[in-house]
Amino acid sequence: MRCLFFALLLCGVACTAMAQERGDIVILYDNDVHCAIDGYPVMAGLRDSLLREGCHTMVVSCGDFSFGGPVGAASKGEFIVRMMNAVGYDAACLGNHEFDYGLPQLRRMESLITAPLLCCNFKGTENYGGSRCAAANSQFSQLPTPFLPFVLRSVGDMVVGFVGVTTPTTLYTSTPVNFQNEEGEYVYNFSASNLAGAVQRAVDGARIAGADIVVLLSHTGDVDGIPTTRELIGGLRGVDVVLDGHDHHLLPSDWVADMDDKPVLLSSTGAHFQNIGVLVIHPAALDSAGAGDSGYSSDSRYSGDSISSMDGCYSRLLSVDSLRKAGVSNAAVGDTLAEVKRLFDAMGSNVVAQSEVSLIAEEDGMRVCRLRETNLGDLVADAYRYGMNADIGWVNGGGIRANLPIGPITQNQLFAVNPYSNAMCLIRVTGRDVLNALETAVREYPRAEGCFPQVSGLTFSFDTALPSSVVLDSNGTFLRVEGAYRVSRVMVGDKPLSLDETYTIAGSEYLMLNGGDALSFPSRQLVSKEGYTDLYLLQRYLEERLHGVVGGEYAVPQGRIAFN
């Protein structure tokens, strides 16, 4: 116990019991865990140690906890919910990837998790209804939002309000068809046209309900968000702290001015439980009006003093590895972790193939399959083309989530590569649609974005010196190319692409049918939906076409994508 106490002192988070009436409030937070379940016993252990030292301690998540790893995909997020319940989270913001399992499964996760799931900006539209969304709609409240916009938590004699907000880009970076009716009209949205207004209404509601402190759990992104989290803060009043997620940004602490030029603390932990965030709030720094009299009124004019000052609160990040080495853990949560791993291993420990080469999606922490052709991208795209007997195989770089090292390939490793369990399809489109889809897919380069394509049966070049002239509509779907094309010299097989001929493409329904990654195929004809998943096609290719061995033909990328 003494070693644990000194380890926490070294980390700078241990606190002694407070003699005054109000002790410090400590909020532990994570973001973008993406199924890194080994961190949960450490989170619980840190919470326990702080409670023992007299701190009022809570645990929250800023989203993307349930998706992005095989243990999440195998259970459709339910193993992650089980881990979070074992810890005892006080609140969780929904990330964009929580929507990837579909709305009915998200509602099921909400029924299983003990923490309230927060999202103030997800709502139904005037087009709400239609048989294609009936299964989801029957489980969601139409008005005003399907999820709680905020929740209040009492700590000592103070009340903390947690507000949740999810990036509006979820509408098209998740599966767009999940948010549409049978006519293709969006029946849900994420308040993209007035995100600050949606958040402000929730902040107002939390203040009026009695919150002395408002903490925004944001999954919007401080680097690449649309808008960025800093831009969002600049349009708000009455928020004291923003704990952020989405772009995996490592930000121990920063101060951002709100619309009244009051400082708001902003922090983000990175991703994959590399760190636990620690927010410490000194209640004595609150406005002397005291609890329940914040000076806040329903007209969004915050007349009281914010706690967001250098003396009022601070945040820092603690390395999970360092905490683990110091012995910080919770035995009961560790037992739950062991049980979840046992159940998961039983689902997929069988070996399906061997690899003689290292297959790459990520290098040195960079998801290179979102920036260039990789040998694993070639393999996966080949599997789609082979399994669907197509002219072209297409996978987005964001759909390839893990490397495959030399040696045996297990079912769980394939889950890690293709954790989405995407339904696959075969479509027929014109060469013009193929060209425009390629142009759309490389529009973000040199930013590492999930829309970057990995292809089979097709080669192309693109000019990195040309800016993208792709225009998207208000829903983030391809509309037109206004200037010069970056993509050129497209070959299908050994022949140049013909704009007027038609070609078959094997890919996920997410990309080919549902508008994922902004792709659009106006000439599309659906050839087949066989019920295959991406994982099934990958395993089938390894077993049938490669006879269980990935050999030297995949040692390096095969030159399908060239940079001018």
Write a three-state SS string for 174-213.
CCHHHHECCCCCECEECCHHHHHHHHHHHHHHHHHCCCCE
**pLDDT value, residue 85:** 98
**What token pair was written down for 15?**
């606190």
Report how far residue 82's alpha carbon sits from residue 65's, in angstroms, rounded to the nearest whole number.
Answer: 12
- Edge-to-edge strand list for the sheet holding 561-563: 495-496, 487-492, 458-462, 561-563
DSSP 101: G
Using DSSP's 3-state secondary structure scheme, residue 244 falls into strand
**pLDDT value, residue 309:** 44
Instruction: List all residues 6 or more positions away from 380 whose beta carbon is below 8 Å from its beta carbon.
Output: 393, 395, 399, 400, 417, 418, 454, 534, 538
Report how far residue 401's alpha carbon sits from residue 561's, in angstroms, rounded to the nearest whole number.
Answer: 20
Per-residue CA distances from 499 to 1, 435, 456, 496 (Å):
71, 8, 18, 10
> Per-residue pLDDT for the chain (564 aa), expressed as one digit of tens each?
333 343 455 455 444 433 223 478 999 999 999 999 999 999 999 999 999 988 999 999 999 999 877 788 778 899 999 999 999 999 999 999 899 888 999 999 999 999 999 999 999 876 544 333 333 444 444 434 689 999 999 998 899 999 999 999 898 777 777 888 877 788 899 999 999 999 999 999 999 999 999 999 999 998 767 899 999 999 999 999 999 999 888 999 999 999 999 999 999 999 999 999 999 998 776 543 333 333 444 343 333 444 444 467 899 999 999 999 999 999 999 999 999 999 988 888 789 999 999 999 999 889 999 999 999 999 999 999 999 999 999 999 999 999 999 999 998 899 889 887 788 999 999 999 999 999 999 999 999 999 999 999 999 999 999 999 999 998 888 999 999 999 999 999 999 999 999 999 999 999 999 999 999 999 999 998 766 789 889 999 999 999 999 999 999 999 999 998
Report how far residue 49's alpha carbon sits from residue 89's, in angstroms, rounded to the nearest whole number.
Answer: 16
Using one digit for the tens of pLDDT, what is the confidence trace for 278-337?
999 987 765 433 333 334 443 433 334 444 444 678 999 999 999 999 999 999 999 999
**pLDDT value, residue 472:** 93
Q: Do 318 and 10 meet the contact criterion of CB atoms below 8 Å apart?
A: no
**What token pair was written down for 488?**
């050129």
**What token pair was written down for 506?**
């094997």
Report how far residue 196's alpha carbon sits from residue 191's, in angstroms, rounded to the nearest whole number.
Answer: 9
Q: Look at the alpha carbons of 193, 198, 199, 201 in this order and tell me if their dihedral is positive or negative.
A: positive
Task: HSE, CB side, 13 Å, CA atoms: give it for residue 97.
Answer: 26
Cα-Cα-Cα-Cα dihedral of 356, 365, 66, 36, to 10°?
Answer: 80
Q: Do 327 and 49 meet the contact criterion of CB atoms below 8 Å apart?
A: no
Q: pTM for the complete prediction?
A: 0.70
Instruction: List all residues 6 or more positions away from 494 whose beta carbon is below 8 Å from its beta carbon.
Output: none
Which amino acid, one-letter code, is at 87? Answer: V
Instruction: List all residues 6 or more positions away from 559 whose beta carbon is below 8 Å from its beta carbon.
Output: 373, 459
Using DSSP's 3-state secondary structure scheme, residue 134 falls into helix
Q: Do 430 and 455 meet the contact criterion of CB atoms below 8 Å apart?
A: no
In what helix (H) or strand (E) does residue 437 lie, and over which residues does it extend? helix 431-441
For the beta carbon of residue 46, count every other beta carbon within 10 angstroms. Answer: 27
Per-residue CA distances from 273 to 26, 64, 196, 429 (Å):
18, 11, 29, 42
DSSP 545: I
**What token pair was written down for 28?**
């532990």
**pLDDT value, residue 359:** 98
Site of tokens 């999970």: 320
Q: Do 459 and 541 meet the contact criterion of CB atoms below 8 Å apart?
A: no
**What token pair was written down for 83?**
């881990």
**What token pair was written down for 219?**
């999954």
Report how far residue 288's alpha carbon sits from residue 305's, in angstroms, rounded to the nearest whole number.
Answer: 9
**pLDDT value, residue 226:** 81
By the 10 Å C-beta count (0-12 exposed, 13-18 middle, 19+ buried), 522 is classed as exposed
Beta strands in 363-414 (DSSP E): 392-396, 407-410
